[in-house]
Structure 1
Amino acid sequence: MANFQSILIVDDDENSLKGLARYLENMEYDVLTASNALQAIDVFRLEKPDLVLSDVKMPGMSGSDLLDKLLEIHPSAKVILMTAYGSVEDAVKAIKKGAFYYLQKPVNLDELEILIKKAFSSKLLEEENRELKRELFAQKFDDGEMVAESSKMKELLKVVDKIAHSQSTVLIEGESGTGKELIAHRIHRLSQRSQNPFIPVHCAALTDTLLTSELFGHEKGAFTGALDRKQGRFERAHQGTLFLDEMGEISKDTQVKLLRVLQEGEFERVGGAKTIKVDVRVVAATNRHLLEEVKAGRFREDLYYRINVIYIKVPPLRERKEDIPPLVHNFIRQFSKANGKKLTGIDKKAMDLLVAYDWPGNIRELKNIIERMIVLSSESVLQSDLVPDDIRSFYPKAAVLDNSAPASLSEVEKDLILRTLKVHHGNKSSAAQALGISRRTLYRKIEEYRIPENS
């Protein structure tokens, strides 16, 4: 029975090359051969073999250097090195560099057979892990954070689905908790790169030095504590997507390095001289207004325009209140199951209070509140007394809705606007600020609901 797995053998010794090829063909592997490292690189790029079996000592580029090159092309490549001149120390070094294993020549064929099976098992496990991550991500969407009942979110997702297939960089702006990383994941999932890594970097969580090391990697001894060579996130994201979260926090020095990668597709590790080429799509997110940061001199203008090829603005939850009820119900299903409870819904008064609130923490805050309410609930339906006091007291007591509250969402919103205008004595600017919307949005709502001008 054929294995349908391919092995590239690299050896300048013709007898050794032919002997190994014949042995592996008899085991029904698809065998490819190369007599030097440069030829091997071409074959590797073209055929994408499942495993590489390479001699170390060869004219020109050595097997050790070939290993580096193959890992640059494909970071998860499986490579077994062979040498007649090796030692235990050499084997340890090779494995640390990324080799799957290191064999002494003449090769023990029984040992080789076992190693090949282990390499393929490892490769299969990695593929299964990647598939599991994709399934978990799909489940994350099923958890209900990508609700699009509002016209704003429907339009946004149309744009996202349209641009996902391009190779252009994307800038996502929006307040904290609006779901920017979910948008980035969706772009990756729908792109031609979906089978390759999605690598996130949370820029605000790292110092400038650590961020540089995380992005570009470092060589052994590059700085105190750099005990081994480390691949950076750009290398790990090769042929995939790199997500730069809170990009507005990156220092000017790191911005320069980032600009070069975006322009040239290459960089050097910290402490290294070797130029590494990568094929990465960058999706960046920020809770700042980056153009304002450019005007203030805190963010490079050239980097801004390089990253802002496609611009996506994620609206805050207060500007898409139609999404709150379905989000609430989705979170109820999610956390009821997680907490072993059988909740069937939420009462109207509680929902009205949640819809009325402006949610400065956006979806993240709403999600946390629903989880808290479910943990504290002893009923089959979430009751209004579980709504936290800061949400209940967001508006004057008169604004807390009772059983006579308007039945529809639009009536709730109209009533809310009327009450807020009354509290602020008709001052539109103050009312808009209290509602957490722009004056323009408030005027549009006033016109939509035919609210008298002197309200």
Structure 2
Amino acid sequence: MLNRILIIDDEKLIRESLSHLLTGAGYQVDLAADGAQAKQLFTQHTYDLALIDLRLPDCNGIELLKIFKTAVPDQGPMCIMMTAYGSVDSAVQAMKHGAYDYINKPFKSKEILLIVKLALEAGGLKREVRQIIKTQAKKYNINNMIAVDPLMIKTFEVVKKVAANRDVSVLIQGESGTGKELIAKSLHYLSSRAAKPFVSINCASIPGNLLESELFGYERGAFTDAKSRKHGLLEKAEGGTVFLDEIGDMEPSLQAKLLRVLEESRFRRLGSVSDITIDVRFVSATNQILEKLIEKGTFREDLYYRLKVINITIPPLRERKQDIEVLLKYFIDHFNSKLNRQVKGVSPGALSLLQQYRWPGNIRELKNTIERIMILEDDEIITEEHLPLEVISSSREKGKYGVFLPREYDIRQGIDFNGLVKSFSSYLIEEAMKIAGGNKAKTARLLSMDRGTLRYQIKKLGIEEEVFDQE
């Protein structure tokens, strides 16, 4: 699709010469002799670029620039101002109101073609960025998140309210896999900072000295390998959000420097003597209990209260079992599309086991479990037989005796009681025997029985005594 350009100039010769030049370069061009005609064309077509003369018969070019830039905020055409009466003040005004460039007449063809090319490329990049932001905002929209549990619904409402305040610091607490980063991104993309960067850093994955240089950057010569200036993540996040994941693992010496940034909104690069002022929102997350770290002296109490102006706690999946069924449906639909499968759902028995399991890895573990099943199994319904052993084992009804039957046994179909008891007893003794290295006294202690009882069981069950050490 050809880029569409609007040329606005009261001099016919300039209009026509520019039209000839740009049409020959492959652009679609419209012409306007004054502001009124330009406004009319602007309402009828969508333009990628406007070349605007600073002095028009019926208006000032700056006024036209303002109209083009404010009609559809952040989506208007790129604008280049043209004038034969250039001055510093008029150039400053043009750039202040959003002009891409300011050129003086007369101009050379190569100069115009280059500036037009660069302006259109810049406009294309801006559109791509807007599309990415739009996609991310939709992806992390809190209204699209999957939950029916009242605790999570309440959490989502808190996120919406907090996002409306662009400056307040937020601390997100929850176990691994509960979706802390997802909440952090929702806070960013729901806020007025959405068009600016979301910068994430994991404090546990980077050693303290490297983490400091990553956050603050450094000047050339700040240390041995600092051969050039480096901008830190705080600078790169200007206007946006800094997400500090696993904040509980940050070293105390760095905590003091972070506290200063939170209090004063400024910092220094390593090796610098001047401060840099920043405008960012800090969102932190941890799966640790920071109060206990404060008691141990590994986390600063003053930093803790600076970080948790708003505290959001995400409950683990085992405490919101209502969400498991809706999450299952979501993940099955997702992997049906991704893996080109036609899985229809989960059997009642499998659903019951999945809801009983404690999910130590929370939503991440549930997602990985469903993905693994859908890759390895061919059936249209996920049944008990498809579930991993850890889900089957820990989710079986244990009753008051604290034991469960292996999956191959089903009391409803009838079982060999004596044979099962004998097999299980033999298994326990032989496993204890291996751990004890064949020593009967140690084997008996592991099984909480005396040696006489152990000898009786060995004889009764027919276990070979030769494997025991001779005493």
TM-score, scaled to structure 1: 0.65
Q: Tell me the residue number matched to 1:29.
A: 80
Count of matched residue positions in the alignment of Structure 1 and Structure 2: 330
CA shift, 1:208, in A, is: 1.1
| 126-135 or 237-246: bigger deviation | 126-135
Is the contact made by 2:82 and 2:102 (CA closer than 8 Å) also made in structure 1?
A: no
Alignment of 1:32-47 (within 5 A): 35=88, 47=96
Is the contact made by 1:350 and 1:382 (CA closer than 8 Å) also made in structure 2?
A: yes
Q: Tell me the residue number matched to 1:426.
A: none
Q: For 1:389-429, what per-residue CA distance to the aligned partner results, in whole angstroms no more than 9, with x for missing partners?
A: 0110014426989999xxxxxxxxxxxxxxxxxxxxxxxxx
Closer/same/farther in 2, CA of residues 133 and 346 from structure 1, 3 Å limit: farther
Q: Tell me the residue number matched to 2:328.
A: 328
Quote the Cα distance in structure 1 between the aligned partners of 2:94 and 2:276.
Answer: 20
Closer/same/farther in 2, CA of residues 143 and 263 from structure 1, 3 Å limit: closer
Alignment of 1:64-79 (within 5 A): none
Alignment of 1:272-351 (within 5 A): 272-351=272-351
Question: What amino acid is the match of 1:390?
Answer: E
Is the contact made by 1:148 and 1:323 (CA closer than 8 Å) also made in structure 2?
A: yes
Does 1:389 find its partner at 2:389?
Answer: yes
Closer/same/farther in 2, CA of residues 109 and 293 from structure 1, 3 Å limit: farther
Closer/same/farther in 2, CA of residues 189 and 5 from structure 1, 3 Å limit: same
Closer/same/farther in 2, CA of residues 336 and 226 from structure 1, 3 Å limit: farther
Does 1:271 find its partner at 2:271?
Answer: yes
Q: Tell me the residue number matched to 2:158.
A: 159
Max radius of gyration: which structure? 2
Closer/same/farther in 2, CA of residues 293 and 211 from structure 1, 3 Å limit: same
Question: What amino acid is the match of 2:381?
Answer: V
Q: Tell me the residue number matched to 2:146.
A: 147
SS for the counterpart of 1:255 is helix
Question: What amino acid is the match of 1:397?
Answer: F
CA shift, 1:116, in A, is: 5.2
Q: For 1:292-343, what per-residue CA distance to the aligned partner results, in whole angstroms no more than 9, with x for missing partners?
A: 2122211111111111100111101111111111001100111111111111
Quote the Cα distance in structure 1 between the aligned partners of 2:160 and 2:252.
Answer: 32
Q: Tell me the residue number matched to 2:128.
A: 128
Alignment of 1:15-414 (within 5 A): 29-30=80-81, 35=88, 47=96, 49=98, 51=100, 110-111=110-111, 113-115=113-115, 117-136=117-136, 138-139=138-139, 146-166=145-165, 167-394=167-394, 395=396, 396-397=403-404
Is the contact made by 2:48 and 2:120 (CA closer than 8 Å) also made in structure 1?
A: no
Quote the Cα distance in structure 1 between the aligned partners of 2:189 and 2:341.
Answer: 32
Is the contact made by 1:171 and 1:312 (CA closer than 8 Å) also made in structure 2?
A: yes
RMSD of Structure 2 on Structure 1 (CA): 3.5
Is the contact made by 2:331 and 2:367 (CA closer than 8 Å) also made in structure 1?
A: yes
Quote the Cα distance in structure 2 between the aligned partners of 1:280 and 1:398.
Answer: 56
Closer/same/farther in 2, CA of residues 379 and 205 from structure 1, 3 Å limit: same
Closer/same/farther in 2, CA of residues 349 and 48 from structure 1, 3 Å limit: farther
Closer/same/farther in 2, CA of residues 111 and 263 from structure 1, 3 Å limit: same
Is the contact made by 1:343 and 1:380 (CA closer than 8 Å) also made in structure 2?
A: yes
Is the contact made by 1:201 and 1:245 (CA closer than 8 Å) also made in structure 2?
A: yes
Closer/same/farther in 2, CA of residues 199 and 131 from structure 1, 3 Å limit: farther
Quote the Cα distance in structure 2 between the aligned partners of 1:194 and 1:232.
Answer: 20
CA shift, 1:219, in A, is: 2.2
**Unpaired runs of at least 5, structure 2:** 1-5, 8-46, 52-61, 66-77, 397-402, 413-471
Is the contact made by 1:5 and 1:30 (CA closer than 8 Å) also made in structure 2?
A: no
Q: For 1:176-215, what per-residue CA distance to the aligned partner results, in whole angstroms no more than 9, with x for missing partners?
A: 1100011111111211212222111111111112211221
Is the contact made by 2:197 and 2:241 (CA closer than 8 Å) also made in structure 1?
A: yes
What percent of counterpart residues are identical? 39
Quote the Cα distance in structure 1 between the aligned partners of 2:273 and 2:112.
Answer: 35
Quote the Cα distance in structure 1 between the aligned partners of 2:227 and 2:87.
Answer: 34
CA shift, 1:353, in A, is: 1.0
SS for the counterpart of 1:284 is strand
Is the contact made by 2:199 and 2:237 (CA closer than 8 Å) also made in structure 1?
A: yes
Question: What amino acid is the match of 1:237?
Answer: A
Q: For 1:153-193, what per-residue CA distance to the aligned partner results, in whole angstroms no more than 9, with x for missing partners?
A: 01111111111111210001111110001111111121121
Quote the Cα distance in structure 2 between the aligned partners of 1:34 and 1:291.
Answer: 61
Q: Tell me the residue number matched to 1:85.
A: none
Is the contact made by 1:336 and 1:343 (CA closer than 8 Å) also made in structure 2?
A: yes
Is the contact made by 1:143 and 1:330 (CA closer than 8 Å) also made in structure 2?
A: no
Closer/same/farther in 2, CA of residues 384 and 257 from structure 1, 3 Å limit: same
Alignment of 1:423-438 (within 5 A): none
Quote the Cα distance in structure 1 between the aligned partners of 2:273 and 2:364.
Answer: 43
SS for the counterpart of 1:155 is helix
Question: What amino acid is the match of 2:315?
Answer: P
Quote the Cα distance in structure 2 between the aligned partners of 1:30 and 1:288.
Answer: 56
Is the contact made by 2:216 and 2:234 (CA closer than 8 Å) also made in structure 1?
A: yes
Q: Tell me the residue number matched to 2:466.
A: none
SS for the counterpart of 2:283 is strand
Closer/same/farther in 2, CA of residues 50 and 133 from structure 1, 3 Å limit: same
